[in-house]
């Protein structure tokens, strides 16, 4: 084992069955020097207080379950080293989401927005399996690859100043996902998607604070997707003026 020290973890507690408003609870626990914030929460759950509720699974920064606010910043807790912090660490549920219980937030709104951008390949005529795999050059892959790396951890929604104020805003991850399909050489659905992008709460609701890209634990750049999405959707819109929908 690595070196063990003591730290105080201050956790937001909220049980809608019993509490009117969230409260905090402090746990002083022994921690190992190689622990992540999630390890501390799991220690509390297993050894100190089994009533604590939080989500986690892969503990290798790819399933996206364990996003929380750590000392006020949205973090993926399985990737965030405890050694980044002093002797007291505050852990809260992700900002800008309704809280279900303790550190668990509600994702319904996100899942709806996610579906709204039609995150699937749209083609005028579907390919048959017999036609084999589509050709796609390494460059064409690179054109959208980075926006396919989002793990849906929701950190960008917590960081985004618009998400907190505008309930219609699609938000960084959903826009980046729509953009990912728009940029995919196999896709023909950008016109449909750009209708959504141009709606109220679409790309133009973004104030370009860039917070989303800064907090992303997977180095996705949703802010760039939003900016590119603005240009591309306007282009579609402009083309639409020349070519009304349905004509060719």
Partner 1 sequence: MEVIEHDVVVVGGGAAGIRAAIAAIEEDPNVSVAMVSKVYPMRSHTVSAEGGAAAVAREDDTLEMHGYDTVKGSDFLGDQHVIEYFVEEAPKELTLLEHWGCPWSRNEDGTVATRAFGGMTTKRTWFAADKVGFHMLHALFQHSMQFDRIVRYDEQFVTRLLMEDGAVKGVVALDMRQGEVRLIRGRAVVLATGGAGKCFPFTTNGNIKTGDGMALAYRAGVPLKDMEFVQYHPTGLPGTGILITEATRGEGGHLKNSEGTRFLVEYDYGLGTKAELGPRDMISRAIIQEIQAGRGIEGPYGQYVHLDLTHLGEAKLKERLPFVLELARTYVGVDPVTQPIPIRPVVHYMMGGVDTNIDGATDLPGLYAAGEVACVSMNGANRLGSNSLTECLVFGARSGRCAVAFARGASAGDEASLRAQGEEEAHRIETLRGKNKGGETIAGVRREMQQAMEDGCGVYREQGSMDAAVSALAQLKGRYADLVLRDTSKVFNTEIIAALELGNMLDVAEAVAVSAAQRQESRGAHTRRDFTTRDDQNWLHHTLCHFDPAGPRIDRKPVTLGHWEPEERKY
Interface with partner 1 (CB under 8 A): 1-2, 15-18, 34, 45-47, 49-51, 53-65, 79, 100-102, 104, 106-107, 111, 114-115, 118-121, 126-127, 129, 132-138, 140-141, 144-145, 148-149, 151-152, 177, 181, 184, 186-187
Q: Which is nearer to partner 1, 122 or 234 (CB)?
A: 122
Please count the other Cβ atoms lying within 10 Å of the Cβ belonging to residue 169: 22
- Please report how close the Cβ of residue 118 comes to partner 1 at its closest, in angstroms: 7
Q: Which is nearer to partner 1, 118 or 230 (CB)?
A: 118
- Please report how close the Cβ of residue 90 comes to partner 1 at its closest, in angstroms: 21
Residue 48 has which token pair?
Answer: 């100190």
Cα distance between residue 55 and residue 38, in whole Å: 10
Query: Could you tell me if 186 and 120 are in contact, meaning their C-beta atoms sit under 8 angstroms apart?
Result: no
Q: Which is nearer to partner 1, 169 or 181 (CB)?
A: 181
CA torsion angle 234 160 225 236 (round to 10):
-20
- Please report how close the Cβ of residue 166 comes to partner 1 at its closest, in angstroms: 23
- Please report how close the Cβ of residue 15 comes to partner 1 at its closest, in angstroms: 5
Name 206's Cβ contacts closer than 8 Å, sequence gap at least 6: 162, 169, 172, 175, 223, 226, 230
- Please report how close the Cβ of residue 242 comes to partner 1 at its closest, in angstroms: 29
- Please report how close the Cβ of residue 214 comes to partner 1 at its closest, in angstroms: 18
Q: Which is nearer to partner 1, 24 or 57 (CB)?
A: 57
Q: Which is nearer to partner 1, 79 or 234 (CB)?
A: 79
Query: Could you tell me if 205 and 162 are in contact, meaning their C-beta atoms sit under 8 angstroms apart?
Result: yes
Residue with tokens 């509390």: 44
Q: Which is nearer to partner 1, 29 or 121 (CB)?
A: 121
β-strand partners of 92: 69
Please, what is the Cα angle at 164 between 59 and 203, to 5 degrees? 90
Cα distance between residue 63 and residue 77, in whole Å: 12
């Amino acid at each position: 084992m690595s070196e063990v020290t003591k730290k105080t973890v201050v956790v937001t507690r909220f049980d809608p069955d019993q509490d009117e408003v969230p409260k905090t609870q402090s746990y002083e626990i022994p921690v190992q020097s190689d622990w992540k914030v999630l390890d501390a929460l799991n220690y509390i759950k297993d050894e100190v207080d089994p009533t604590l509720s939080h989500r986690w699974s892969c503990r290798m920064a790819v399933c996206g379950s364990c996003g929380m606010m750590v000392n006020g910043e949205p973090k993926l807790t399985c990737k965030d080293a405890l050694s980044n912090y002093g002797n007291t660490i505050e852990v809260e549920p992700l900002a800008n989401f309704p809280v279900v219980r303790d550190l668990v937030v509600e994702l319904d709104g996100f899942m709806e927005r996610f579906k709204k951008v039609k995150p699937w390949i749209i083609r005028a005529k579907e390919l048959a399996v017999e036609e084999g795999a589509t050709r796609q050059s390494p460059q064409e892959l690179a054109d959208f690859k980075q926006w396919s790396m989002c793990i849906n951890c929701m950190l960008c929604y917590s960081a985004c100043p618009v998400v907190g104020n505008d309930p219609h805003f699609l938000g960084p991850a959903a826009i980046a996902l729509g953009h990912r399909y728009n940029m995919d050489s196999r896709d023909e659905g950008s016109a449909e998607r750009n209708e959504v992008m141009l709606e109220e709460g679409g790309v133009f609701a973004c104030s370009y604070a860039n917070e989303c890209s800064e907090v992303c634990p997977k180095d996705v750049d949703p802010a760039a997707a939003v900016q590119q999405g603005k240009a591309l959707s306007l282009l579609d819109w402009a083309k639409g003026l020349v070519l009304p929908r349905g004509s060719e």
